[in-house]
Amino acid sequence: MKLQKPKGTQDILPKEAAKWNYVENKARELFAQYHYGEIRTPMFEHYEVISRSVGDTSDIVTKEMYDFYDKGERHITLRPEGTAPVVRSYVENKLFAPEVQKPVKLFYMGSMFRYERPQAGRLREFHQIGVECFGSSNPATDVETIAMAWHLFESLGNKQVKLHLNTLGSSESRQAYRQALIDYLLPYKESLSKDSQRRLEENPLRVLDSKEKEDKIIVANAPSILDYLDEESANYFETVRQMLDSLGLPYEIDNRMVRGLDYYNHTIFEFITEVDGNELTICAGGRYDKLVDYFGGPETAGFGFGLGVERLLLVLDKLGIELPVEDSLDFYLVVLGNEVNGKALELVQAIRYQGFSAERDYLDRKLKAQFKSADSFNAKYILTLGENEVETNQATLKDNQTRAEVVVALDELMTNFAQVIEKLK
């Protein structure tokens, strides 16, 4: 049997991992500016954490979850999304307590799992970066969070994102719209796709989210939720729009957007980038004011988003955006003979302890092969170490870009590499 990675997973090799690290570090830096702290939840949860929050009738639960019974007969699922685990943690760790400063702003990064047909930017193990803000029902929180996502995309060089905006209103508004949608769709039931026929019975709003051609034709003339908003919901949505306008963030009202999860209310949004004629969603989220209560905590407002790292990197690549990933080595040591093996080790370790990246030859190769390695590593500085250099305590350090050279004491290299480099300038 040939051992291979499971279908729908990938190996992220060093050059690609450098891009991942860049994106993740950018996100960490930016989220800190908005006063978000990191949370790390388990990769698997009790089945009910996901099924109850996401919705028993959602595609995630009915088709895509990796769930199983462990050796203790506990029903476990690999997490398919990030919000429910964070809410569970928020309640379990009593982050709603009076002594905890509000709002509570959290971000996460990690693997998620969904069993679906693998395709570009969508795998069975995929990675999300997400944020959740608890304790603020102020529409400014909605807009700030959306603006933070926009800020992140701009900082990564993607200025071609489009913000799609909608509202699901209050529970009462949503219920009124749900009935209006059922009344509209029922005469078309037999013409809907099989999945949408099922959704019509279980959660009709999801029919609006269908990607099937026959469904798109039918829902094109469906009623808009904007016509069923109560006064409070309409005012809330108008305030969100005004604040986006005040920040100069353009948006497009998309009254067919509903999101695929049950817990949303009021503001929902997606960031979309067009690539090769296709619109790809790279970030999505919204408000969920009943989810903390659903998990047994006090009624608490919530707002957040999640973005797929694979999808984001795919979009950046398709747009020709090169991330400024550092792909160079500070110092390469050419080693001449086993006699200086120990000294070579001391030298590269000393330079590493000074905060520089360093590598050496371990394979007793010829000079030409070692210099070729130095070039392939994009080494900035090269030094050749042989018995003569060890005996005299002196060696020649070369700048691999300018070809400038300087003779230096090995002791000085091992104690003040930065000062030695200055001599080459």
Three-class DSSP labels, 257-287: CCCCCCCCEEEEEEEEEEECCEEEEEEEEEE
| AA letter at 4 | Q
Q: What is the pLDDT of residue 277?
A: 82
| AA letter at 175 | Q
Calculate what percentage of the chain has a pLDDT beyond 70: 96
Tell me the pLDDT of the chain averaged across its residues: 92
Fold of domain 14-170+230-318: BirA Bifunctional Protein; domain 2 (3.30.930)
At 46, give phi and psi (nearest 5°). Answer: -65, 140
Q: What is the pLDDT of residue 269?
A: 96
Q: What is the pLDDT of residue 101?
A: 94
Calculate what percentage of the chain has a pLDDT beyond 90: 72
Q: Please compute the mean of the pLDDT values over residues 137-152 and round it to a whole number.
A: 98
Q: Which of 79-83, 195-199, 236-240, 308-312 has the lowest mean pLDDT?
A: 195-199
The pair of three-digit structure tokens given for residue 49, joined into one six-digit string: 């954490």
* Contact present, 381 and 400 (Cβ < 8 Å): yes
Question: CATH number for the 329-422 domain, one of 3.40.367.20, 3.40.50.800, 3.40.50.2300, 3.30.70.100?
Answer: 3.40.50.800
Q: Please compute the mean of the pLDDT values over residues 299-321 and round it to a whole number.
A: 95
The count of residues in the chain is 425
Of the candidates 297, 150, 166, 153, which has an alpha carbon nearest to the alpha carbon of residue 226?
A: 166
pLDDT tens by residue, 180-194: 889 998 988 888 888
Asked whether the predicted pLDDT for residue 55 surpasses 70, the reply is no
Q: How far apart are CA 87 and CA 183, in angstroms?
A: 35
Most confident among 24-33, 248-257, 319-328, 416-425 (mean pLDDT): 24-33
Q: How far apart are CA 204 and CA 227, in angstroms?
A: 17
| AA letter at 127 | H
pLDDT bucket at 336, cuts 50 / 70 / 90: very high
Angle between helices 309-318 and 14-33 (to 10 degrees): 110
* Contact present, 179 and 222 (Cβ < 8 Å): no
Domain limits, CATH 3.40.50.800, in the chain: 329-422
pLDDT tens by residue, 213-222: 888 889 888 8
Q: Please compute the mean of the pLDDT values over residues 102-123 and round it to a whole number.
A: 89
Asked whether the predicted pLDDT for residue 159 surpasses 80, the reply is yes
Q: Please compute the mean of the pLDDT values over residues 143-170 and round it to a whole number.
A: 95
Domain limits, CATH 3.30.930.10, in the chain: 14-170+230-318
Buried (b) or exposed (e) across 261-298, using 16+ Cβ within 10 A? bbbbbbbbbbbbbebeeeebbbbbbbbbbbbbebbebe
* Contact present, 296 and 253 (Cβ < 8 Å): no
Asked whether the predicted pLDDT for residue 78 surpasses 90, the reply is yes
